[in-house]
Structure 1
Amino acid sequence: MSGRFPYLNLTLEDAYRIQQINVERRVSAGAEVTGHKIGLTSSAMQEQIGICEPDSGFIFDGMVGSSGSCLRAAEFMNPRIETEIAFRLGRDLSAPSDLDTCRSAVAEVFLAFEILDTCFTDWNITLVDCIADNAACAGVIVGEPVPFDVSWELGTERVTATANGEVAGTGEGRDILGDPFKALAWLTHRLPSLGTTLHAGDIILAGSVHASVPLTAGTDFRATSTRLPSIHLRVV
């Protein structure tokens, strides 16, 4: 697939290499990689963006905030927000790994908001564009973590997101590739080509359960789920 600039004839591998070059620059400037986001894992997001396969990007320490944070919309170009099921790894995860191995590597699970933004301000982007721009990942708000038990079926987790008290999106864990752990397994197959592996302590966003919502000043975002603690973000 080519990108917004077809004369460049960019491939997915080219896009991930561009992403990796930018990661290396940020790390050289002092940033620390604290995890990864997996995107476009639900039909709602694939239909919204017009892309039919997942992608991934990096999470850096300066991008992460906690539930209850206040965010300035003016610091972004054209931001959007998603509600995600997220993991924190309890041990290194080899690549590639199957579902059982992925489940056993997760120490904690929690709700998260992902802040999406991109240099393509009209959001008319291809998969190549999105990947090259760190899969549009601009920020992460993490909720209170809960210890994960391998018997927990996250596919049945029902998530509801609200903006100023009005329902903004709903979904279930199974909306993420049928099982959020399938997204994590997909990531273990994707990262070796980038020379990257998953480490204990890494945050992993499995993907949104609903279509993204514009992030505008004056909005109070909240999300609840069946068993995970709620999450809150105020936008000014």
Structure 2
Amino acid sequence: MHLTADQTIAVDRLDYARVAVKPTSPVRDVLGSTDVDSAYAVQAALNQRRIDEGGVVVGHKIGLTSPAVQKQLGVSQPDSGILFEDMRFPDRGEIRASDLLQPKVEAEVAFILGADLVGELSLETVRSAVTFALPALEIVDSRVSDWDITIVDTVADNGSSAAFVLGHPMVPLHEVEPRDVQMQMTVDGKTVSTGSGEDCLGDPLNALLWLARSAQKFGNPLRAGHIILSGALGPMAPVTAGSLVEASITGLGDVSVQFISEQDD
């Protein structure tokens, strides 16, 4: 993969921030604030480094599915990132807050693909490729200081993704209509986010269709067995050591995770 000098600077900056767990300055100063293609090139290089280090790709995440967030960042389409096996944490499990920088959590619908998504793609194509849907939490954690990000910064930073949790049960897609689900998320028992499937591009399956087309265009189509996080159903919420996050999504079930300090290990 050939990178420009500026792209290499961005890769090195974000990779150091991830490994050292120290936030960095935005990368738009070297990539420009509107060059999304360059940002995806940086993301691909960063993810290749992780693969070269033994990282195992298990799926994809979709971000910027909320119109309000798109407006905030001045964009009109979602973005995406890669999920690695070491980003997965068990339902009702624990995540060390010290391994993260400035984490926030959002509740989403996750899909498990039962078929590759290649060729002519439509809403019905992606629907038929989904075997299961289930509740999920995504822990987003910008490597950029103070969440001072534009679309370029978050794309380069693998969609600002850090971890994810899949809940229970795994529901066959024919038993639930993703656009109709309702979500409630609490932190330490206090409701911090609510939303619905329609708040995710009108339908989480629309988000999946966008991702499938985008992935195929760039030569990396979605494959059977992949986990897809379809995007937030409501606002994200910040968390710290000690936070207990719980979410329920109608028709799907529940998911939770506890953030702990090193002293709790």
TM tier relative to shorter chain: over 0.9
Once the two structures are overlaid, the 10-residue window that deviates more, 116-125 or 5-14, is: 5-14
Determine the C-alpha separation between the residues in 2 that align with 1:107 and 1:9. Answer: 38
Ranked by relative contact order (alpha carbons within 8 Å, sequence separation 6 or more), the top structure is: 1
Query: Is 1:159 aligned with 2:210?
Result: no
Q: Describe the shift of the 1:59–1:165 C-alpha distance in structure 2 as closer, same or farther (beyond 3 A).
A: same
Q: What is the SS of the residue equivalent to 1:5? A: helix
Once the two structures are overlaid, the 10-residue window that deviates more, 146-155 or 161-170, is: 146-155
Q: Describe the shift of the 1:230–1:9 C-alpha distance in structure 2 as closer, same or farther (beyond 3 A).
A: closer
Q: Aligned match of 2:251 in 224, 227, 230?
A: 227
For residue 75 of structure 1, what is the aligned residue in structure 2? 99
Once the two structures are overlaid, the 10-residue window that deviates more, 17-26 or 46-55, is: 46-55
Determine the C-alpha separation between the residues in 2 that align with 1:159 and 1:9. Answer: 33
Aligned positions of 1:1-236 closer than 5 A? 4-5=28-29, 8=32, 11-46=35-70, 51-94=75-118, 97-150=121-174, 152-236=176-260
Unpaired runs of at least 5, structure 2: 1-26, 261-265
Q: Which has the larger radius of gyration?
A: 2
Q: Describe the shift of the 1:10–1:193 C-alpha distance in structure 2 as closer, same or farther (beyond 3 A).
A: farther
Q: Describe the shift of the 1:9–1:75 C-alpha distance in structure 2 as closer, same or farther (beyond 3 A).
A: closer
Once the two structures are overlaid, the 10-residue window that deviates more, 177-186 or 35-44, is: 35-44
Unpaired runs of at least 5, structure 1: none
Contact 2:139 2:161 in 1 (8 A): yes
Aligned pairs, number: 235
User: Which TM-score applies when normalising by structure 2?
Assistant: 0.83
Q: State, as a whole percentage, how many aligned pairs show the same letter.
A: 38
Q: Describe the shift of the 1:95–1:24 C-alpha distance in structure 2 as closer, same or farther (beyond 3 A).
A: farther
Q: How big is the shift at 1:177?
A: 0.4
Give the number of the structure whose residues are more often helix, by fraction: 2
Determine the C-alpha separation between the residues in 1 that align with 2:29 and 2:88. Answer: 32
Q: How big is the shift at 1:188?
A: 1.3
Q: How big is the shift at 1:170?
A: 0.3
Q: Describe the shift of the 1:205–1:95 C-alpha distance in structure 2 as closer, same or farther (beyond 3 A).
A: farther
Q: What is the SS of the residue equivalent to 1:192? A: helix
Determine the C-alpha separation between the residues in 1 that align with 2:196 and 2:172. Answer: 17
Q: Describe the shift of the 1:80–1:49 C-alpha distance in structure 2 as closer, same or farther (beyond 3 A).
A: farther
Determine the C-alpha separation between the residues in 2 that align with 1:76 and 1:196. Answer: 28
Determine the C-alpha separation between the residues in 2 that align with 1:49 and 1:215. Answer: 22
For residue 16 of structure 2, what is the aligned residue in structure 1? none
Q: What is the SS of the residue equivalent to 1:224? A: strand
Q: How big is the shift at 1:120?
A: 0.7
Q: Which amino acid aligns with 1:225?
A: I
Determine the C-alpha separation between the residues in 1 that align with 2:82 and 2:174. Answer: 26
Q: Describe the shift of the 1:79–1:7 C-alpha distance in structure 2 as closer, same or farther (beyond 3 A).
A: closer
Which segments of structure 1 move beyond 3 Å, counting only runs of 4 or more?
6-10, 44-52, 149-152
Q: How big is the shift at 1:94?
A: 1.1
Once the two structures are overlaid, the 10-residue window that deviates more, 121-130 or 186-195, is: 186-195
Q: Deviations over 1:2-39 (max 9, x none)?
A: x6316757611111111111111111111111000000
Q: How big is the shift at 1:146?
A: 2.4
Q: Which amino acid aligns with 1:231?
A: V
